[in-house]
Amino acid sequence: MSQPLRLGIAGLGTVGAGVVKIVRQKAALLETRSGRKVEISAVSARNRDKDRGVPLSDYGWEDDPVALATRDDVDVFVELMGGSDGPAKAATEAALKAGKDVVTANKAMLAHHGQELAQLAEDNGAVLRFEAAVAGGIPIIKSLTEGLAGNEIERVMGVMNGTCNYILTRMEDAGLSYDEAFAEADGLGYLEADPNLDVGGIDAGHKLSLLSSIAFGTQVNFAGVELEGIGCVSIEDIRQAADMGYRIKLLGVARLTGRGLEQTMTPCLVPASSPLGQLQGGTNMVVVDGDQVGQIVLRGAGAGEGPTASAVMGDVMDIARGLRVTTFGQPAATLKPAPAAKATVAAPFYLRLNLQDKPGAMAKVAAVLGEAGVSIDRMRQYSHDDQTTAPVLIVTHKTTRSALDEALAQMGATGVVSDDPVALRIEEV
């Protein structure tokens, strides 16, 4: 009979407790599906006495996660502490140096140190798996590294932060301002301790950088992700986008071009009838375009105890079955450095301007856009109570962001634009 696969779990928050529950409650199912028992040898957390809703007395306890990672009775170190450095990184490195396999949900650590950790795993005959780090319960890592391994990936795109999607959905459904929807999400416990990780696009940017590495065979380059959060989006933008048949999403898009790796995580307009446009609440979605498979869409819960613990256990079960896959789908030494590149694929853009309510204002704006090579597809002026400024909505024909930025930089010199313009890409899906 095969020897049991013995786990050491560091971090007993929502996800860690969820993993313990699955191992305890699904023991027979796990053994049947993997051909060996899956057991927990020991755990580690900051507070030994906290009630986590699951019995822990059967397991050894280590106050130091590094000690847990190097125990003789641990085959797989499960890192669920979080943080790009500190104890999480130290314990992960200790486990890999000891030749132990590692399963983690830590997107920040991998976004900043993925290349070196992947190489460390290979140097020591270990595997480093991270399905739970991206899009919760959606098996996107496994899809890219295994199911789509015969494809040249052309584009990866998705909504990868449920909190942002919840806020934008509530703004549309309930007519809430951004600040009201933000406060509601905070009250429900959806926001990180540092909310900017969510609404600033950082959390989702971490995830996009990891998907890019797998999809395009490049070294992880989080620093190359263009980030723009959802704080610029107003209820007026939500309503006006809906009037035109669009919805606004915090959308990650990655492409590898001859100029380098394009990675953007910004608010975009998508067709309301598209799968991304139909995505509601805290759900995540990842869209992959492959040269052989065409477009595939994966949708599911992006966070929470059950979905994320499910993803952790998917990696654990692969290890139990003897499936050993390199961290980013190919040997770490073959991952190419990819210089960051500005997005050059032309697209239409949505512009919201507050113009001085006086003759000739729109003509000046149109002239600035024209001089930059940006043409207007359609325009609307909305009713307003303010007698000094008028809200104007412009949708451009396809243009590049660099051309649009050139025009926006000249807007202030016209003397007719009040406030900073809002510019959002309209993404074809």
pLDDT tens digits, residue range 293-315?
999 999 999 888 999 999 999 99
In a domain, 344, yes or no: no
Look at residues 133, 155, 188 and tell me which one is the last residue of a structural domain: 133
Q: Which domain holds residue 150?
A: 140-301
Mind telling me the catalytic residues?
A: 207
Q: What integer pLDDT is reported at residue 386 of this predicted model?
A: 61
Asked whether residue 148 falls in the same domain as residue 120, the answer is no
* Whether residues 109 and 186 fall in one domain: no
Sole residue written with tokens 């006495």 = 49
Residue 341 in any domain: the answer is no
The answer to the question of residue 334 being in a domain is no
- In the predicted structure, residue 356 carries a pLDDT above the cut 90: no
Q: How many domains does the chain have?
A: 3
Mean pLDDT of all residues belonging to the chain: 93
Which residue, 108, 133, 158, sits at the end of a domain?
A: 133
Name the band, by pLDDT with cuts 50, 70 and 90, for residue 286. Answer: very high
Q: Is the pLDDT of residue 288 over 90?
A: yes
Q: Which of 133, 162, 190 is the last residue of a domain?
A: 133
Distance CA 293, CA 287 (A): 12
Please indicate, yes or no, whether residues 252 and 383 belong to a single structural domain of this protein.
no
Domain assignment of residue 163, yes or no: yes
Residue 146 and residue 125 share a domain:
no
Q: Determine the pLDDT at residue 384.
A: 61
Give the tens place of pLDDT for each residue, 259-271: 999 999 999 999 9
Residue 1 has pLDDT above 70, yes or no: no
**Shared-domain flag, residues 9 and 84:** yes
**Please, are residues 322 and 244 in contact by the beta-carbon 8 Å criterion?**
no
Q: Nearest Cα to 121, choosing from 156, 92, 83, 159?
A: 92
Q: pLDDT at residue 338 above 90?
A: no
Q: Residue 200 class from Cβ within 10 Å (0-12 exposed, 13-18 middle, 19+ buried)?
A: buried
Predicted confidence at residue 285, as pLDDT, reads: 97
- Which among 183, 164, 363, 345 is positioned nearest to 264, based on CA atoms? 345
What number of other Cβ atoms are within 10 A of residue 291's Cβ? Answer: 10
What pTM did the predictor assign? 0.93
Mean pLDDT value across residues 15-37 = 97
Task: Flag whether pLDDT at 23 surpasses 90.
Answer: yes
Residue with the bigger pLDDT between 42 and 401: it is 42
Residue 91 belongs to domain with CATH number: 3.40.50.720
Q: Is residue 68 part of a domain?
A: yes
Does residue 52 share a domain with residue 179?
A: no
- Whether residues 123 and 145 share a domain: the answer is no
Q: Does residue 329 sit within a domain?
A: no
The verdict on residue 326 lying in a domain is: no
Of the candidates 385, 293, 274, the one whose C-alpha atom is nearest the C-alpha of residue 285 is: 274
pLDDT at position 413: 83
Write down the pLDDT at residue 188: 86
Mean pLDDT of 79-95: 96
Residues contacting 322, CB < 8 A, separation 6+: none
Q: pLDDT category, 387, cuts 50, 70, 90?
A: low
Kindly state whether residues 244 and 374 are assigned to the same domain. Answer: no
Q: Are residues 38 and 178 in the same domain?
A: no
The confidence score (pLDDT) of residue 189 equals 85
Q: Of the spans 70-79, 275-284, 413-422, which averages the highest pLDDT?
A: 70-79
Of 226, 250, 252, 247, residue with least CA distance to 237: 247
Q: What percent of the chain has pLDDT over 90?
A: 80
Residue 314 inside a domain? The answer is no
